[in-house]
Structure 1
């Protein structure tokens, strides 16, 4: 106990200084809490601080993502592109941090390595990577769903003599962006063709002497349709800010799209073709999020759209055999994240670009000179690992989090997350997981959904403090019901047939395999309505003490 009395104590600790974390720190301070934030990077920004690869940008409309602008926290902000690039986004986050004055709340270049709940004291004991400690009453994780980098298990990675890095650790430039996007005279290899790879590849292909793309599984990619924004055009697209924000709150994912009320099978072939053509030409995720309402529940409906997009790929890639390699065969359209692309398929018409199908010819090893595939050594100067992340729970897994009776969160979630509303887990009092597993902000426009979640949680904390409660923890029955609801909702969609990044796959010793959804795929609007009902009933389902 003497040691604890000498340890700095705060009402709340926030892990992470991305858009959600810093808004949580700001909101808690506004209601009078003492707050300390910890961030592994040297400044705010989260995703937009770390991911500085060329081509990195939003796939959400900037004016729909920018909650701080919509809420007039940064009323003077003007977006320059419909889908802002990473440098502009980092400037936006930094500007918001200045307006909210959150930097003094944070300790940067500091990574949380453990957090232990001390039941007798009802506090969390948090240890940093420099072996310093703090305690807090409330602990908030805002580590992000896509922040724990995942490197492939390929032998020899460390032997390569050229430059190599994971895409999320692209060397930083002196300003907000990447160090360099000029690959003149360079032989470049990019491993991975997910959302990140699809953004990087066209940029690298412009200047590289040669580009080898190592593809394991193709994805359904559709045009981003980015363009310059002026304040006048933003006003035309969005209208009045308050009304637009209210509209976003009504949509399934807080994107500015509403689904067609028809089922695909109820439309004629001509009607479907006309709709698909209009959606394909429309900027953004409209083709995924505003098509026929049974896209993700009917294989027939999905096949109509998949066949249409496959036809577009065949039109854009001149080599028919190569086009077939770029068309997914193992998952339905939209059951994995749909990468938004700019001239991605046209890249494969260039003489300096070669697609390597590593399902046909696997990568054997990385050598000092390059990548060995089968009997062929592809000599390279640069290797980019666009291999994604250990999604949603990956960053939490890297922190030793222990609740009651020293149970680790990792062991509690070994077969998949168990939560109440995706915000807390029984046995881990006062620990909130923002934009985390099974809540309504991870499969959503995070700029808006994450901020709305912050506001709900802040109201809960304020409610507790006003009534003298010092502890909040889910009731087992409500947690079980919510977790079952998450899995049941997921199982009724075609998403359940795909091994996307939002699925936890566990291989058991008996050879069986368990697949658990890490996200909640129900309507974000319905999720928030349920959260509001819980709050109106005095935070029903939580034990408040």
Structure 2
């Protein structure tokens, strides 16, 4: 519910720091800012903390990063007090963890829930940001921290007729907070990315009939989730500090193994044995097998063909297996999916694959979904159609920097920033886990911590030296963007149509705004920028 502690909309509330978003990045930013003695406040669209895990409550929602990695590292007290129950935590447990941290740090007293920023405008003379919310409240802050998240703006259903459907239509990314009963219902799932792949097996067990509308087949690996044994938990907690230190300087920000072994350095028999072992172990073990999966197209195809063979082994109907088999893009160039019984679900009599490449959806009708083959009547439609990722959340707000320059104009050809942290022309506007950092390729929670720590250290530097503002120089921003592009072009990531590149949103500029050099190297670069006296930035 919306808090009533804010002043009347006509009187701006003056702050040192205003944080937009109360997911894991915003929560830690608020904690750090308060610890510095700043007058800090956060606003959050949802009615509680948790960010994407507050909204994504769909059936089967689960994190694909191991729970011992996908958690805060800044507080050993929190690490020791909280105990994860599974290797890959489900949404209710992750949200419970976020709430536990909020309680532990008493964060909610400085968060306005049910509050959305509509405009963020810089006053250059006063060197402050003026933030307007959807209820007319205005904040004025010396520093604005955008912790809006990379996956927080779900795509809306853009299929003709969606507004006239007579049944229930749900977005996976804005799932209702009440139970949804699928028993005896005819259900359609549109989309087979990470969310759709998690939804299908769960709904298949409950619905009378499930129709899965697939546009692009995804590569998905077995999660093989398991409960965490008490002795393993005790072991992890004993060595948590060492594990976290290793994770911070790793490629991905986790303890998942990596290798420097190229695929063709081992014999075909040995690599098949390695891949079979990874398949049986589950999770993202595949990504640690060979060093060149995402740089060598031939090596990538070897791994892809192995997984394609597994689909044919699991799915009993050859035609269904063929249509579920991804081709035409490199494996793992789209976000890797983990599943629990996804391919097995298509062996059920009540599950039907609807191939939208062969028979595209024409419209949603009052009673169901029509393709060029005819209409299928359903009671419930679940749209698991993805996000306007990386830049969508910030661009959903009217952000204006110096001289009234709009962020929409600045980012007309794609998100631009220096280090993924600051934007030329937008002083004292800090971005947490935004485009042009490791973002989608790193453990978001450790990335959030690193970003927030850098921002808070930067603010401390400003205040200690009597500066009112900081912004990156244009040439530094351009150099960083060149580095991001050049590194990305050496990989297979930009070759796939995915939310990484913006190809899933019609009209969105196609870029690959992700630094692929790894979290460890990224941390070093950011630290060097600060240690060098922020020489790539202008102070006022």
- Relative distance call for 1:484 and 1:71 in structure 2 (3 A) is farther
Instruction: Structure 2: give runs of 5+ residues left out of the alignment.
Output: 1-7
1:465 equivalent in structure 2: 463
C-alpha separation in 1, matches of 2:42 and 2:54? 16
CA distance in 2 between partners of 1:435 and 1:315 (Å) = 39
User: Is the Cα–Cα contact under 8 Å of residues 10 and 137 in structure 2 kept in the other structure?
Assistant: no
Alignment match, 1:367: 365
> Which stretch has the larger CA shift, 52-61 or 439-448?
439-448
Contact 2:123 2:130 in 1 (8 A): yes
Q: 2:492: which partner in 1?
A: 494
**Cα distance, 1:230 vs structure 2:** 3.1
Tell me the equivalent position of 1:112: 117
| Structure 1 runs not aligned, ≥5 long | 174-178
Offset, 1:432 = 0.7
Alignment of 1:231-380 (within 5 A): 231-236=230-235, 240-288=239-287, 290-380=288-378
Give the TM-score normalised by structure 2.
0.95
- Say if 1:7 and 1:134, in contact at 8 Å, map to a contact too: yes
Q: Residue deviations 1:451-486, cap 9 Å, x none?
A: 122112111111211111220100111111001101
2:446 equivalent to 1:448: yes
* Native 8 Å contact 1:211 1:352 kept in 2: yes
* CA RMSD, 1 decimal: 1.9
Contact 1:63 1:238 in 2 (8 A): no
Residue equivalent to 2:102: 97
Matching residue within 115, 134, 137 for 2:139: 134
Say yes or no: does 1:16 pair with 2:21. Answer: yes
Match of 2:514 in 1: 519
Q: Specify whether residues 444 and 28 from structure 1 end up closer, same or farther in structure 2 by C-alpha distance, changes over 3 A only.
A: same
Cα contact 1:139–1:432 (8 A) shared by 2: yes
Measured in 1, the distance between the counterparts of 2:441 and 2:215 equals 24
CA contact (8 A) 2:10 2:138 kept: no
**Counterpart Cα distance in 2 of 1:356 and 1:5:** 54
Shift of 1:236: 4.3
Q: 5 Å matches for 1:179-198?
A: 179-180=179-180, 182-198=181-197
Contact 2:370/2:376 (<8 A) preserved: yes
Q: 1:70 Cα deviation (Å)?
A: 6.2
What displacement does 1:514 show?
5.9
CA distance in 1, matches of 2:248, 2:234: 19
User: Could you say if the C-alpha distance between residues 22 and 332 of structure 1 is closer, same or farther in structure 2, counting changes exceeding 3 Å?
Assistant: same
Once the two structures are TM-superposed, the CA of residue 222 in structure 1 deviates from its matched residue by: 0.1
Which secondary structure does the structure 2 equivalent of 1:207 belong to? coil
Listed one character per residue, the Cα deviations across residues 356-414 of structure 1 (whole Å, up to 9, x for unaligned) are 00111111111110101114111101000000100011111110000011111111011
Q: Deviations over 1:236-295 (max 9, x none)?
A: 46760001101111221112223222111111001101111111122321212x021011
Report deviation, 1:221.
0.3
Q: How many residues align?
A: 533
Question: Which moves more between the two structures, 371-380 or 428-437?
Answer: 371-380
Partner of 1:165: 170
Which TM-score applies when normalising by structure 1?
A: 0.95
